[in-house]
Structure 1
Amino acid sequence: MNILITNDDGIFAPGVEALTETLQHFADVYVCCPDQERSAIGHSITLRNPLKAKPVDIFPKAKAAWCINGTPSDCVKVAMEVLMPEPPDIVFSGINLGPNVGRDIFYSGTMAGAVEASLYQIPSVSVSLHAFNEKDVNYYRTKQILYEVVETILQNSIPKGVILNINLPNVSKDTCKGIVILPLDMSISRYQYVGLNDPHGHVYFWLKDEWEQLYNFDDQSDFKYVKDAYVTISPIEYQFENKRKSDRISRWFRDHPLNIKTRIKEGV
């Protein structure tokens, strides 16, 4: 089995090292990550600048590793199309510093790396950690919990078209309360713009993370379980086509003047 690892915190992030050290127990590991932090960059790719893949030798047991002057999506795309000898069996993106819950998945570069893999029909997993400062993280205990989760995932098959979004608690294996499978809570707006005045009296806006101020969650909210020291796993499926809805919308335009004109020309 071949596993490809990427992230959005950069090739030198401790989370990437921890993920690599965990996954190397299960398969041959390849690493392809941005050369610097690309957090909250979403699913962007680089169009107007050339990309350079630089080999790095910082993961002793990895089959190969590269850093790229691009985004997580670039990294997955370049690794699978050019760098790897064959496509990976599964892609892991992370370990991201900071949880990815609710609406975060639409902004997250970590999630984007997993989504890019799914576009190639490759099973993928996004992994994040409920911590905001590297100084507060003991990656040895993080790896213990992650190992247990990964072992179960690899013993089974991720359903086709599904991406697993995993959040790990920043606790020891003994104090982890369990693993819950639940949907993302899209009702919560975690990030809010706040207006501030500069010395010249002009107003500018800064995006503030309201994580610490969030409370009174729904009982099945991923926010609640992440804060309560559970591992959360949210299966995410991007359905790009829905035939029933397409047929419904087609009926809106069935008698549209443009369509009637076309049918007259064609003698229908």
Structure 2
Amino acid sequence: MPPSPILRILLSNDDGYFAPGIEALAAALGDLGEITVVAPERDRSGASNSLTLDRPLHLRRSANGYFYVNGTPTDCVHLAVTGMLEQQPDMVVSGINLGANMGDDTIYSGTVAAAMEGYLLGVPAVAVSLTSKEGKHFATAARIARATVERFRRSPFDGPVLLNINVPDLPWEEIRGVKVTRLGRRHKAEPVVKQVSPRHETVYWVGAAGAAADAGEGTDFHAVANGYVSVTPLQIDLTHAAQVGAVTEWLAR
């Protein structure tokens, strides 16, 4: 049996290069290939797919060998794939995020956006999130990430793929399995929180995400709530195909 190929793996996140999640990810994948970490210099949660176009980006290297960029998660992957790396990576793995990225969260998520940028550039990509802000079991999510990369190495997809993986914040022994899911939906977000600053200025905090609305069987919310790892294949086409006919008719009136 021929030896498994050495993978070139690009790691990124939206929590910053100093986050425990990316450290756990790098440690888990370290012996599977050539690992390069390019992550934001600070927490850029909620940055979505934004690119920095109004100023130059700086690429620096920290003492632990990780590279960091004064930009967004998308900037990091775009810079790495299109300018920094001599060879295109075989995979982009983003995470491990502190907190879930399920349902509507994927629209805002910098973690998903980093993986999505790899996918848009033709690289198979995976976003991995730990579904709790407590962050007790990064080791569980890291183990899932490793198993995913090992599976990709054994049996790569024919074309680019974008997987959104959410892992319950549980010990490995309590994970009940893995389910392929669709995105659920949330209720609308809570209202903004209005406050007065010490300088007597009115400030606003974005409200909390809404509770799960569409969380039935088959959704990412349902899988995680029942102790399963959720794996959702994502696509980029936002066209509302079912409304094409209706809009065509409406414009003809």
Please classify the TM superposition score into its range, dividing by the shorter chain length. 0.7 to 0.9
Segment of structure 1 superposing worse, 232-241 or 116-125: 232-241
Offset of residue 245 of structure 1: 8.2
State the structure with more CA Rg: 1
> Could you say which residue in structure 1 is the equivalent of 2:125?
124
Deviations 1:169-211, CA, capped at 9 Å, x for gaps: 111221101100011013x236322454648999765333357
Q: 1:234 to 1:48 in 2, by over 3 A?
A: same
Deviation per CA, 1:7-41: give whole Å up to 9, x if none.
00000101011111122232111110001000001
Amino acid in the other structure paired with 1:222: D
- Further displaced range: 223-232 or 68-77: 223-232
Whole-Å separation in 2 of the counterparts to 1:69 and 1:145: 29
Deviations 1:195-240 (A, max 9, x none): 54648999765333357x6589322231122222211000001127
Matching of residues 1-268 of structure 1 within 5 Å: 1-59=7-65, 65-134=66-135, 137-158=136-157, 160-186=159-185, 188-189=186-187, 191-196=189-194, 198=196, 205-210=204-209, 214=212, 217-239=215-237
Match of 1:266 in 2: none
Choose 36-45 or 48-57, whichever is displaced more.
Answer: 48-57
**How much has 1:86 moved relative to structure 2?**
0.7
What amino acid does structure 2 have at the position aligned with 1:164? L
Alignment check: 8 A CA contact 1:6 1:31 kept: yes
Say which is worse superposed, 79-88 or 192-201, in terms of deviation: 192-201
Inter-partner Cα distance in structure 1 for 2:241 and 2:190: 36
Q: TM-score, normalised by structure 1?
A: 0.79
How much has 1:55 moved relative to structure 2? Answer: 1.8
CA distance, structure 1, for counterparts of residue 49 and residue 113 of structure 2: 5
The offset of 1:125, in angstroms, is 0.7
Q: Which amino acid aligns with 2:58?
A: K
Superposed CA RMSD? 3.1
Aligned length: 246
SS in 2 for 1:58: coil
Q: Which runs of 4+ in 1 moved over 6 A?
A: 199-203, 240-253
Q: CA offset at residue 82 of structure 1?
A: 1.6
Runs (5+) with no aligned partner, structure 2: 1-6
Compared with structure 1, are the counterparts of its residues 70 and 245 closer, same or farther at alpha carbon in structure 2 (3 Å cutoff)?
same
d(CA) in 1 for partners of 2:43, 2:161: 26
Aligned equivalents of 1:92, 1:182: Cα separation in 2: 19
Farther off after superposition, 193-202 or 77-86:
193-202
